[in-house]
Amino acid sequence: MKKPTRNAEPEFVVTMPMGLDGVAASEVAQRAPGASLLSRTSTELRLRGAEVGSLAALRSVNDAWVVVRDYRGIGPRYRDLHALKNLVSRTSLDRALALSQVDGGRRRTTDFALTCSMRGERAYRRLDALKACEEGLAAQSGGRFRPAATGAALRLWLHLEEDRARLCVALTPKPLHLRDRSVSLPTSLSGPVAYAMAHLTEPRADDVFVDPTCGSGSIALERGENWRHRQLLLGDRSHQAVEAAAANFGPRHKPRSVLWWDAAHLPLGPDSVDALACNPPHGIQMQPEAGLEPLYRGIIGEAARILRAGGRMTFLTPLREMTDRILRDVGGFRIERCFVIDLLGQRPYLYSLRRR
């Protein structure tokens, strides 16, 4: 087995919802220009040469990790778990802990939370792999590292794929996708998806940006927190949503307005908007009384009316056939991209559209 070079540059892994790897790669290039991309899949980027602070500031990802060690020869057989335990028992976490933003390396005893992901058929369960790794960590630290069900600031990740195992330490005490919001609603988007929908509108400092079905304001908040703007306009027909969005914004990101309105009849003039992002009801958690098709026709028709030529729009929905039909009927839009993403186990389509 090849031993790692002691002074080798550390490697990092950032994970994101499936399908958002392109958005994450673009953000890494912007926020961490010194990082080099080693590999890329639909759910993760592997990097070298990045600064921890720049990775911890990413908005398009679920989490960021420093790689402790890659182990080869950990296959699908049950006896491979014994080899994993022995290898982990001889692996120091000191370098990874020094890079992370947690103080696990300086405590007499440190509680940790270990998660495990596996790909491919294996003779053992995920729980078996977790136990082998936890026992290896306890052995190598003389009992200093202790597994904990909740409340652990030190987070570890064991990933098994083919004949390899990878052990990582999280760079931050809590996952990056968890945003501090005053109010959250059941239909609120995750931070990375909201960021992606704003990012794909190609933000500019002089944009008038609209979210016609804002919910708790997730998309507009990402737009306001990460790019300059001329004006943010967001609204919803739910008074609860409008109140939640206003509470989440507080006094920040002005000029902006949070309004009660009907997304199918917006109080905005023709050709008055530069960019629009919309996460309409999907008929899963919320079903409009008149049905989804009239609502979608109204929203897309209004978007075609208020967007300037060349204006950008993102639209998230699992209903591709209906959405494609409405886009053809309404006219005026060019589909630049349409791809599947992961949204809490669902597989909706994210449209990136441009007004002709």
Mean pLDDT of 85-99: 95
Q: What is the pLDDT of residue 284?
A: 57
Q: What distances in angstroms separate CA 355 from CA 206, 234, 332, 338, one per listed residue?
A: 17, 20, 6, 15
Q: How many residues does the chain have?
A: 356
Please write the tens of the pLDDT for every residue from 100-144.
987 654 556 789 999 999 999 999 999 999 999 999 999 998 888
Instruction: Spell out the CATH class of 191-355.
Output: alpha beta
Q: How many CA atoms lie within 13 A of 272 on its CB side?
A: 11
Q: Specify the pTM.
A: 0.93
Q: Which of 2-16, 57-71, 123-137, 264-278 shows the lowest per-residue confidence on average (mean pLDDT)?
A: 2-16
* φ and ψ at residue 265, rounded to 5 degrees: -145, 75
Mean pLDDT of 336-347: 94
Q: What is the pLDDT of residue 291?
A: 81
pLDDT reading at 76 higher than 80: yes
The residues spanned by each domain of the chain are 11-170, 191-355
pLDDT reading at 7 higher than 90: no
Residue written as tokens 């309105």? Answer: 261
> Mean of the per-residue pLDDT values for the chain?
93
Q: What is the pLDDT of residue 101?
A: 81
Neighbours of 83 (CB within 10 A): 17
Q: Write out 201-266 in H/E/C secondary structure.
A: CCCCCCCEEEECCCCCCHHHHHHHHHCCCCEEEEEECCHHHHHHHHHHHCCCCCCEEEEECECCEC
Q: What is the pLDDT of residue 106?
A: 53
pLDDT reading at 285 higher than 60: no
Q: What is the pLDDT of residue 104?
A: 52
The radius of gyration computed from the CA coordinates of the chain, to the nearest angstrom, equals 23
Q: What distances in angstroms separate CA 296 from CA 13, 219, 288, 301, one per listed residue?
A: 38, 18, 11, 8
pLDDT reading at 217 higher than 80: yes
- Structure confidence at residue 307 as a pLDDT band (50, 70, 90): very high
Q: What is the pLDDT of residue 2?
A: 44
| Whether the domain at 11-170 and the domain at 191-355 fall into the same CATH topology | no
Q: Domain 11-170 carries which CATH code?
A: 3.30.2130.30
In sequence order, which ranges of 90-234 are alpha helices (DSSP H)? 94-99, 126-141, 191-199, 218-226
Q: What is the pLDDT of residue 4?
A: 45
Please write the tens of the pLDDT for every residue from 159-188.
999 999 999 999 999 999 999 889 989 889
Mean pLDDT of 324-352: 96
Please write the tens of the pLDDT for every residue from 219-271.
999 999 999 999 999 999 999 999 999 999 999 999 999 999 999 999 999 99
What is the distance between the alpha carbons of residues 207 and 312, in angstroms, rounded to a whole number? 10
Cα dihedral sign, 100-101-102-108: positive
Q: What distances in angstroms separate CA 83 from CA 74, 120, 126, 139, 261, one per listed residue?
A: 7, 19, 16, 14, 61
pLDDT reading at 341 higher than 50: yes
Reading the block at residue 22, the tokens are 């392109």
Q: What is the pLDDT of residue 102?
A: 77
